[in-house]
């Protein structure tokens, strides 16, 4: 059996990361919602909301093995604070080993405000999400987005992604409508065809309420 890393989209080859990701999917597929981590190109698009100057605070939801984490860390100001909220304990441990400079929080995104308050944080500059929104019902989506709105305030940004093939699905249309009801500005990026499967990002600003 070959000991070479399993090749990943866009040239990633972290075999331990794939094993951890697939292990989490096997443990609880309804929490992971995908069989491949985000590609580098998709990760770059998601991370663009991370400020490169000042002392910003950026939070990731559902960081998984850290594909997006690496891009946020690359863009984030050296004086910034980077937190990653991961529900799966095994993934959280792996992420902390791989990114020791990131504050990894093993917790539920539905309790985001509480998790941040425990760490002395009231508001953040950006929230980057890798959560599988199609696996949440409408109430669950609204609950998490409500937490996001509370912590980014009037001036923060929120970004997440969706798979292109899900666009015709009722749950996907509902989530897009929920985003448009929640934010004054919802920008859709071009599709990243080299992601598996192809995906695009939503970049959201100025909560409606």
pLDDT by residue (tens digit) across 21-69?
Answer: 444 444 444 444 454 567 899 999 999 999 999 999 999 999 988 999 9
Which domains occur in the chain, in start order?
9-207 (3.40.50.150)
* C-alpha neighbours within 13 Å on the C-beta side of residue 64: 30
- pLDDT for residue 25: 43
Give the residues of the chain that fall short of pLDDT 70.
1-37, 209
Q: Give pLDDT, residue 206.
A: 96
Place of tokens 């794939």: 18
200's CB contacts (< 8 A; 6+ apart) are 161, 162, 164, 188, 189, 190, 191, 192
Token duo for residue 128: 């980057």
Which among 96, 100, 20, 113 is positioned nearest to 59, based on CA atoms?
A: 113
């Amino acid at each position: 059996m070959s000991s070479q890393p399993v090749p990943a989209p866009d040239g990633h080859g972290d075999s331990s990361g794939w094993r951890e990701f697939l292990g989490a999917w096997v443990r609880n597929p309804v929490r992971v919602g995908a069989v491949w981590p985000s590609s580098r190109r998709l990760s770059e698009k998601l991370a663009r909301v991370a400020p490169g100057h000042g002392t910003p605070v950026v939070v990731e939801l559902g960081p998984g093995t850290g594909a997006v984490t690496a891009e946020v860390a690359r863009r984030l100001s050296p004086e910034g604070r980077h937190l990653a909220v991961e529900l799966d304990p095994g993934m959280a441990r792996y992420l902390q080993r791989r990114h020791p400079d990131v504050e990894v929080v093993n917790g539920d995104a539905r309790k985001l405000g509480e998790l941040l308050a425990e760490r002395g944080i009231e508001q953040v500059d950006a929230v980057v999400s890798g959560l599988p929104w199609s696996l949440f019902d409408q109430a669950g989506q609204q609950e998490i987005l409500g937490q996001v709105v509370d912590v980014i305030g009037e001036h923060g940004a929120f970004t997440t992604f969706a798979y292109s093939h899900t666009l015709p699905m009722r749950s996907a249309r509902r989530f897009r409508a929920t985003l448009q009801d929640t934010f004054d500005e919802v920008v859709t990026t071009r599709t990243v065809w080299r992601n598996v499967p192809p995906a695009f990002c939503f970049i959201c600003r100025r909560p409606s309420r």
